[in-house]
Structures are given as structure tokens and as C-alpha cells.
């Protein structure tokens, strides 16, 4: 009995310092991993702080749990088992791996020979080929990134490389590369050991959406400036003429003033559409909650476009299905969307002499409908149609199939872009179908509203 008591006291004496060392090691290990990933990512603004803390905490937790693992601390009552520091390294690596697999960005751990030891490739197609044991060049084929990895392995300096990956589609990638000291497994005389060694970690951040947004903004500014520059130059020229030799020419003055009024109207329409588009984009993340009767709205739009239809000698008719229901939306925006579609049909497809507005439930096989239970509002013309190559770009800002004709008809090039953003805000979709010689059908898919409660019943 006395011998067993002495053994327990000796085991407790040995466990106490080791548990304290484990706690200190957990703290230092977690901090080191956190700081390492911050260093790799180029700063806390690039990698979320919670992600860093999560990885550090996971590693620290893994180290702390070693005290309960067989072979790490001697079991009671025996105190003769060796201290398995190799097992400590293995558990720490497993803890980090569990977190790495859930990182939102692609991650690679590369050994001194350039082979992948850890990755979350299955979750990220861009490094799907980065299987453990394969050389990093099988996944990352960019020479600048491979050179950064080699240099980091030599001098230990962190680097960031911005490059474009052409497959599976064009992606703009920012690669963060840094050298770390980790425990990696190796086989020695038939046994697997985990030794501290130099390695390189690579974190890839996808900048494609950001680059595209920057390009869209640049194109938007350039196009808007161009669209405003032309009428402004025209107005300036006519004003200078009226102040000069045409000062006393009554006939020329009336003609010039008419043109100036037309150009001023063009600028006003462009500014109105720009403001409308900005307002819709500002609220795009907030889904409307109102209830709109699209059948009545279609009748209101028909009344509004009647003068234009009569001028163009086009009949505008509505067809409402008995199964048509109200939709969830904001009336003013849906009115603007439908009016834009009908205006386009009259101006550019009116040579067919007829424009049809249809309100009905979306067909079950409608591929463009985001989900079942949608309502479809279609505007069809029987004009000359649109060449197939132009259809995918019709909703781009300032895109025109025939720029000269569009400007002559008072178009700004923003009408369909506005309709698309309205559809997006309403959690719907826009579909354009056209064939040359047969006309065009533009369909706006909108979520159907639930049936209205019967009068006298609680909502």
C-alpha cells in the first residue's frame, strides 16, 4: 500500500510541471499559429481575426488535450511510461488540419522538397490537384508563385504575388507565401515520427469579384462620361453659333433651339436613369414586402404608352391568365420595369404592328424561373428580332445593338439594366428570347404573393 502511495505521488509530481508546460505551450502555440497566419495573409484586414483566433485556439486545445492521451502523461499507478512528444506534435498537426479543411480560402502546406503535405483542395477547385505527396507545381503552375515559394524557403521572407489563373475560368488570385517551422511526419525504421522542419504555407485569396467590380465601375464612368459629353458638346456648339453669326437669323435660331431642347432632354433622361439605377442598387439587398396586382399594373402601363403606340401605329394588348396572382414587390419599381419593356417593344419591335403583355403563372419547365411558384410577366413584339450574339449582353449598361438608332429613339442604354436590377431586388429573374425575323419575348419572373385573406377573416 505504501509503495502504491509513493507511486501516485511521484506520478502527480511528474504530471504537474508537464500540465503547466502544456498550458504554456498551448498558449504559445496558439499565438504562434495565429501570428503566423496573420503574417502570411498580409495583415488582419485580409484574414478575419476570428479565423486566426480559431486556428490558434484549435491548436492550443489540441495541445492541452495531450495530458489525457495515453502515452503522453503516465497513467496511474505506473509512472514508468516514456513521454511521447512525437504524439504531441501529431495531435497538434491533426488539430490544425481539422481547421484548415474548413478555411474559406485555399491553403497549402509545402515541405522543403516542394511537396504538398496539407491542403483543403477538395473544397477549392483552383487547388484540386494539390493532393498530399504531389509536388506543388501540379496545382500551382504560375512561375511567379513557384518562385516566391522557393525564395521563401531560402530566406524566410513573406511574399505576396498577384496573378491570373486561366482555368477553370479566368480568376484573379492573390497568393500569400511565408515560411514556418512545423512538425511533419516522416518514417524512420518502420515507425512514423513527427520532426520539426522548415515548410512554406500558401494562402490564396480570390480577387476576381473585386477586379470585375473595379472594371465595371471604370467602364460605367467612361460610358456615362461619353454619353453626357456628346449632348453637352452639341449644346455648346449651338450656343456659340447663336451668339455669333446666327444671332439675328430667326429661322436658324428656331431650328437650333429645337435641337438644343432635344439634346437637353437626352441628358435629362440619362441622368434620371442613372439616379434610378443607383437607387435600385442601393436597396437591392432589401427584398420588397408589398403586394402588387400585375394585371392592373399592366393596364396602367398600356394607358401610359398609348400616345407612343399611336404615334408608332402599334397595337398594345394585354392577356391575363385566370390563374394569375398578385406578386410580392414594390409597385413603382415594377411599373418602371414593365414600362421600360413595353417602350422598347414599341420603339424597336413595333414594325410588327403588335405588342402583347401576358401575365400568367410561370411554366413548370421555365428554366429561368429562380424557383417554383413564380409569376411570369412577358412582353412580346413581332419585329425583326435581335441577332443571337447580342442577346447575352443586352442587360449590360450602355450596351446597344444599334447605337445610332437607339439614340435617335431617345434610348439611354440603361433600360434593360434597370429592369434586371429590379428583378434581382425582387428575388426574381429576367429572360430574353429573340430570333431574327420572328421578334423578341422578354419575361420578368416575380415571386407570387400568398392568397389574400377573405373579407372578414383574420390575416
Q: Radius of gyration (Cα) for the chain, nearest Å?
A: 34
109 within 8 A of 118, measured Cβ to Cβ: yes
Whole-number Å distance between alpha carbons of 431 and 422: 13
What are the DSSP calls for 433-456, one per residue? EEETTTEEEEEEEEEBPPPPPPTT
Q: What is the pLDDT of residues 106-146, one digit of tens each?
A: 888 888 888 888 887 666 777 776 777 888 888 888 899 99
pLDDT band at 56 (very low <50, low <70, confident <90, very high): very low
Residue 37, pLDDT above cutoff 50: no
Whole-number Å distance between alpha carbons of 109 and 101: 12
Q: Domains in the chain, start-ordered, CATH in brackets?
A: 1-100 (no CATH), 105-206 (3.30.450.20), 211-282 (1.10.287.130), 286-452 (3.30.565.10)
pLDDT of 84 reads: 46
- Which of 5-19, 296-310, 364-378, 442-456 has the largest mean confidence? 296-310
pLDDT of 127 reads: 77
pLDDT of 161 reads: 93
Q: What is the pLDDT of residues 330-340, one digit of tens each?
A: 999 999 999 99
Q: What is the pLDDT of residues 171-192, one digit of tens each?
A: 888 999 999 877 655 655 555 5
pLDDT band at 356 (very low <50, low <70, confident <90, very high): very high
137 within 8 A of 150, measured Cβ to Cβ: no
Average pLDDT, the chain: 75
Give me 401's grid cell. 445593338
pLDDT of 301 reads: 94
Q: Helix and strand tally (H, E) in the chain?
A: 10, 12
- Which of 4-8, 300-304, 362-366, 395-399 has the largest mean confidence? 300-304
Mean pLDDT of 22-41: 41
Say if residue 236 is preceded by a cis peptide, omega within 30 of 0: no
pLDDT of 304 reads: 92
> Which pairs with CB-CB distance under 8 Å and at least 24 residues apart come from 67-74?
67/15, 67/18, 67/19, 67/22, 73/14, 73/15, 73/18, 73/19, 74/11, 74/14, 74/15
- b/e code 344-369 from CB counts within 10 Å (16+ = b): bbbbbbbebebbbbbbbbbeeebeeb
pLDDT band at 72 (very low <50, low <70, confident <90, very high): very low
Q: What is the pLDDT of residues 262-277, one digit of tens each?
A: 888 888 888 888 888 8
pLDDT band at 92 (very low <50, low <70, confident <90, very high): low
pLDDT of 47 reads: 40
122 within 8 A of 96, measured Cβ to Cβ: no
Residue 10, pLDDT above cutoff 60: no
Mean pLDDT of 94-109: 75
Q: What is the pLDDT of residues 214-265, one digit of tens each?
A: 877 777 777 777 778 878 888 888 888 888 877 888 888 888 888 888 888 8
Q: What is the pLDDT of residues 415-453, one digit of tens each?
A: 899 999 999 999 999 999 998 888 999 999 999 998 876
Q: Which residues contact 381 (CB under 8 A, 6 or more apart)?
A: 345, 346, 348, 349, 350, 352, 354, 355, 439, 440
What are the DSSP calls for 372-436, one per residue? SSEEEEEEEE-SS---GGGGGGTTSTT--SSHHHHHHTT--S-HHHHHHHHHHHTT-EEEEEEET
Whole-number Å distance between alpha carbons of 83 and 93: 18
Between the two ends of the chain, the Cα-to-Cα distance in Å is 79
Q: Which of 6-15, 113-122, 147-156, 348-357 has the lowest mean pLDDT?
A: 6-15
Question: Which DSSP symbol is given to 16?
Answer: H
250-282 and 208-243 are packed helices; what angle lies between their axes, rounded to 10 degrees?
Answer: 160
Q: Which residues contact 150 (CB under 8 A, 6 or more apart)?
A: 114
Could you tell me the sign of the dihedral formed by the alpha carbons of 5, 7, 13, 16, in that order? Answer: negative
Which residue, 414, 25, 18, 405, is CA-closest to 223? Answer: 414
Amino acid at each position: 500500500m505504501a509503495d502504491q502511495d509513493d507511486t501516485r505521488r511521484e506520478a502527480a509530481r511528474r504530471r504537474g510541471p508537464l500540465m503547466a508546460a502544456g498550458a504554456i505551450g498551448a498558449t504559445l502555440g496558439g499565438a504562434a499559429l495565429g501570428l503566423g497566419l496573420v503574417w502570411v495573409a498580409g495583415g488582419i484586414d485580409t484574414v478575419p481575426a476570428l479565423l486566426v483566433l480559431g486556428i490558434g485556439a484549435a491548436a492550443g486545445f489540441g495541445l492541452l488535450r495531450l495530458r489525457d492521451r495515453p502515452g503522453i502523461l503516465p497513467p496511474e499507478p505506473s509512472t514508468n511510461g516514456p513521454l511521447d512528444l512525437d504524439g504531441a506534435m501529431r495531435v497538434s498537426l491533426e488539430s490544425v488540419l481539422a481547421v484548415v479543411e474548413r478555411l474559406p480560402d485555399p491553403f497549402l502546406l509545402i515541405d522543403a522538397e516542394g511537396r504538398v503535405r496539407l491542403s483543403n483542395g477538395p473544397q477549392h477547385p483552383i487547388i484540386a490537384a494539390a493532393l498530399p505527396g504531389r509536388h506543388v507545381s501540379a496545382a500551382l503552375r504560375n512561375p511567379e508563385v513557384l518562385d516566391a515559394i522557393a525564395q521563401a524557403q531560402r530566406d524566410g521572407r513573406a511574399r505576396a504575388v498577384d496573378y491570373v489563373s486561366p482555368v477553370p475560368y479566368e480568376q484573379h488570385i492573390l497568393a500569400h507565401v511565408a515560411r514556418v517551422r512545423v512538425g511533419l511526419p516522416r518514417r524512420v525504421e518502420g515507425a512514423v515520427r513527427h520532426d520539426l522542419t522548415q515548410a512554406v504555407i500558401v494562402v490564396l485569396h480570390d480577387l476576381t469579384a473585386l477586379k470585375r467590380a473595379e472594371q465595371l465601375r471604370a467602364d460605367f464612368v467612361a460610358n456615362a462620361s461619353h454619353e453626357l459629353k456628346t449632348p453637352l458638346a452639341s449644346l455648346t456648339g449651338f450656343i456659340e453659333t447663336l451668339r455669333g453669326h446666327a444671332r439675328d437669323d430667326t429661322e436658324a435660331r428656331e431650328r437650333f433651339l429645337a435641337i438644343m431642347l432635344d439634346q437637353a432632354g437626352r441628358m435629362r433622361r440619362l441622368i434620371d436613369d442613372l439616379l434610378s439605377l443607383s437607387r435600385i442598387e442601393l436597396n437591392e439587398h432589401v427584398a420588397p414586402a408589398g403586394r402588387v396586382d400585375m394585371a392592373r399594373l399592366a393596364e396602367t402601363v398600356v394607358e401610359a404608352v398609348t400616345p407612343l403606340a399611336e404615334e408608332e401605329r402599334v397595337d398594345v394588348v394585354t392577356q391575363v391568365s385566370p390563374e394569375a396572382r398578385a406578386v410580392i414587390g414594390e409597385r413603382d419599381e415594377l411599373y418602371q420595369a414593365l414600362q421600360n419593356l413595353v417602350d422598347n417593344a414599341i420603339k424597336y419591335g413595333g414594325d410588327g404592328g403588335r405588342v402583347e403583355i401576358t401575365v400568367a403563372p410561370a411554366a413548370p419547365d421555365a428554366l429561368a424561373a429562380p424557383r417554383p411558384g413564380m409569376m411570369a410577366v412577358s412582353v412580346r413584339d413581332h419585329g425583326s428580332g435581335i441577332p443571337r450574339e447580342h442577346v447575352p449582353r443586352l442587360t449590360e449598361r450602355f450596351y446597344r445593338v444599334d447605337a445610332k438608332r437607339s439614340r435617335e429613339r431617345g434610348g439611354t442604354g440603361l433600360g434593360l439594366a434597370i429592369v434586371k436590377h429590379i428583378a434581382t431586388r425582387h428575388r426574381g429573374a429576367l429572360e430574353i428570347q429573340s430570333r431574327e425575323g420572328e421578334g423578341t419575348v422578354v419575361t420578368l419572373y416575380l415571386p407570387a404573393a400568398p392568397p389574400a385573406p377573405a373579407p372578414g377573416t383574420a390575416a
